[in-house]
Amino acid sequence: MFNNAKAVNFLIAEDDPDDRLLIREAFQESRVSNRINFVEDGVQLMDYLRRQDKYADPASSPTPDLILLDLNMPRKDGREALAEIKSDPRLRYIPVVVLTTSKAEEDIMRSYDIGAASYITKPVTFDGLVEAIKGFKQYWVQIVCLPELDAVKD
């Protein structure tokens, strides 16, 4: 019953290099061995999803099965990017989980409204982050079914 057939890969949009490192380490600590790619802001995120520029190669930049999205990023922030993704018929099927420092009610509400699948406030401690990633993995990797790549019409 569980979806363990294929290796799910994540695309993580995070501007803070420290946070990028910590997230990577948290994934490692929680034994999530899925492939993760990083982009540093909303522009890069959209470029990646649209296979623009340096993201043209699907081998190095595979279409993500799920996007983890920080809201506060330079150039184009997560809020804008989320809106773009969820209004693009070729991209909106990809579940987006917001992972950000903000716990503002407005951000939470707006994110769900625009179409985020979940909203996670970055835990304060590293352990907390590990716990969150574990929980995240259990849900999205173990329990839930994600669409297979071939089923997606490009």
Instruction: Give the footprint of other proteins on residues 68-107 (CB under 8 A).
Output: 86, 89, 92-95, 101, 103, 105
Confirm if 94 and 64 have CB atoms less than 8 A apart. Answer: yes
Q: What is the CA radius of gyration of the chain?
A: 15
- Check binding of 7 to other proteins (CB under 8 A): no
Question: Of 41, 48, 139, 154, which lies in the binding site for other proteins, with binding defined by CB under 8 A?
Answer: 139
Which of residues 54 and 92 has its CB atom nearest to other proteins in the complex? 92
Minimum distance, C-beta of residue 46 to other proteins, in the bound complex (Å): 19
Contact set with other proteins (CB under 8 A): 1, 18-19, 22, 25, 86, 89, 92-95, 101, 103, 105, 108-109, 111-113, 115, 117-129, 131-132, 135-136, 138-140, 142-148, 151-152
